[in-house]
Amino acid sequence: MNTQTNPAPQFYLTAPAACPYLPHEMERKVFTHLVGERAPELNDLLTQGGFRRSQNIAYRPACETCRACVSVRILVDQFKPSRSMRRVLAANADVTGHEYPAEPSSEQYSLFRHYLDHRHQKGGMSDMSILDYAMMVEDTHVNTRVIEYRLRAEGSGIEERPSGELVAVALTDRMADGLSMVYSFFDTDRERRSLGTFMILDHVRRAKAMGLPHVYLGYWVKGSRKMDYKTKFLPQEHLMSRGWERYDGESSD
């Protein structure tokens, strides 16, 4: 009889590096590989424990002097859009979202490149090539999907791949207890549409339709202005030292 068990995942620690969110802070990460048949199950457990996925790596902050990064997830069944969020939904009534396997395209990369050039010129992803982008999308051993958001083309009907203009893309993992938004990007020239907010609202709708209780948004960093938007989707839970705790922050309305 074969009594051999699957090996436990091995965890590693990165060297200190400058924090991309808070000045004068240094970051370290603990990470492991997500490969093989157990990858989906392991991804679920690690995400629930505060990890994030990038390609076939799961990581979380392990900084020595800072605990500013807090994992955030929206409570789908209790979520109520604010007035400003309802305006975003109305402004994007002509946008349709379609879900596909995790396969890249040159059209996606063109929008991704435009997004980086306008929003993240000095970020760690700023020099990503089309091959790097393809790896970001394809290198996954879990249930990952690409959701393309397009303007509804005039006169278009039911098509396998709609032909309207691509305005936003989300790379999303489906887990046992929710949807995890791994990465998303959008047309920065359409600022009035608030497409980033719209994609989160659409993920809440999708999760609810699937009977999934959470939408995972990654890390919120208090003191980082570019992360403030994550705490507007209420109610939500934050992963603290004692586990997931409900957060009912003040609405911006």
Return the percentage of the chain with pLDDT > 90, whole number. Answer: 77
The secondary structure of 43-62, three-state, reads HHHHHHCCCEEECCEEEEEC
- How much is the pLDDT for 178? 98
Give the pair of three-digit tokens for residue 130: 């089309």
* Residue 123 pLDDT level (bands cut at 50, 70, 90): low
pLDDT of residue 59: 97
Residues contacting residue 146 through CB under 8 Å, at least 6 positions apart: 99, 100, 101, 102, 103, 104, 108, 137, 169, 170, 171, 172
Sign of CA dihedral 144, 30, 134, 121: positive
Strand ranges for the chain from DSSP E? 12-13, 17-18, 26-27, 29-33, 52-54, 57-61, 69-75, 95-101, 144-151, 166-175, 178-186, 214-221, 236-240, 243-247
pLDDT for the residue 250 = 61
- The three-state secondary structure class of 31 is strand
Q: Which residue has better confidence, 156 or 66?
A: 66
Contact 171, 53 (CB under 8 A): no
- pLDDT, residue 35, reads 94
Percent with pLDDT over 70 in the chain: 91
The mean predicted confidence, pLDDT, of the chain is 91
Structure confidence by residue, pLDDT tens digits, 16-62: 999 888 888 899 999 999 999 999 999 999 999 999 999 999 999 99
pLDDT band at residue 252 using 50, 70 and 90 as cut-offs: very low
Domain boundaries, the chain: 12-68, 84-207
| Domain 84-207 class in CATH | alpha beta
The confidence score (pLDDT) of residue 119 equals 76
* φ and ψ of 57, to 5 deg: -120, 135
Query: For the residues 106-124, what does the mean pLDDT come to?
Result: 85
Beta strands in 57-111 (DSSP E): 57-61, 69-75, 95-101
Q: Indicate yes or no: pTM above 0.75.
A: yes
Q: Which two tokens stand for residue 196?
A: 């980033």
Q: Residue 1: what pLDDT?
A: 44
Average pLDDT on 107-123 reads 85
Closest by CA to 97, choosing from 175, 209, 189, 228, is 209
